[in-house]
Chains A and B, each alone.
Chain A
Amino acid sequence: AQSVTQLDSQVPVFEEAPVELRCNYSSSVSVYLFWYVQYPNQGLQLLLKYLSGSTLVKGINGFEAEFNKSQTSFHLRKPSVHISDTAEYFCAVSRYTDKLIFGTGTRLQVFP
């Protein structure tokens, strides 16, 4: 069975600083990996996805993530955050089906 661990429940950071949100998954087979963002009182929006190919995936709003098969990680990064990036971020995994397994989320708080 697959599972997803988001190691940090909250990440505080100052505006224009870099940020990394960590995600580890457990699966003995190949998986698809996703990062979603949830702004207050809204649904989830797709930031980026890894299906196959290049291990560095670029998404919307300047975010990127790197798939590391040996470490079973899919960490999300942004070189310079903005106040508007304050939101909750979810890592998710699926394997050849449409069902997703979500992590518990990381709340990114950007301070001026």
Chain B
Amino acid sequence: NAGVTQTPKFQVLKTGQSMTLQCAQDMNHNSMYWYRQDPGMGLRLIYYSASEGTTDKGEVPNGYNVSRLNKREFSLRLESAAPSQTSVYFCASSGPGGQPQHFGDGTRLSIL
């Protein structure tokens, strides 16, 4: 009963490098999300996908791209990493209207 699985758990990048964060859920949820968590700022939505084949920008999309590969998987890509993208990234998924979101354990990303 894995729920939401994120890989990797930790990563250190140099400025300008690219990277893809992976997320998969096994709950047959339509909706998936990517957040970043920074001290004192709560969680901010980067991108979300309401269903397979659709993606939409959230509050802080600049510098990121996403792919909803299929119903299970939703990846987040940093094309040219910047120190301001140092953060903890969380993936989540949910069922329809009002259902709670289920979160992965996060990816701790440091950009030097």
Contact = CB atoms under 8 A, between A and B. Distances in A.
Given A43-B90, A98-B96, A90 B43 contact: yes
A45 B3 CA distance: 12
A42 B3 CA distance: 14
B41 interface: yes
Interface band, chain A: 20 to 34
A98 B40 contact: no
Interface in B73-110: 90, 92, 94, 96-106
Contact of A102 (B40, B42, B104, B106): B42
B90 A51 contact: no
B100 A99 contact: no
A94 to B, nearest CB: 7
A51 B45 contact: no
Contact of A43 (B48, B50, B96, B104): B104
B98 A44 contact: no
A8 to B, nearest CB: 13
B97 A43 contact: no
A32 interface: yes
B57 to A, nearest CB: 11
Contacts of B42: 90, 102-105
Given A45-B103, A104-B41, 11 more contacts: A32-B98, A41-B105, A42-B106, A44-B43, A44-B90, A44-B101, A46-B102, A49-B98, A99-B33, A100-B45, A105-B40
Interface of B: 4, 31, 33, 40-45, 48, 50, 58, 90, 92, 94, 96-106
Interface of A: 9, 32, 34, 36, 41-46, 49, 51, 90, 94, 96-100, 102-105
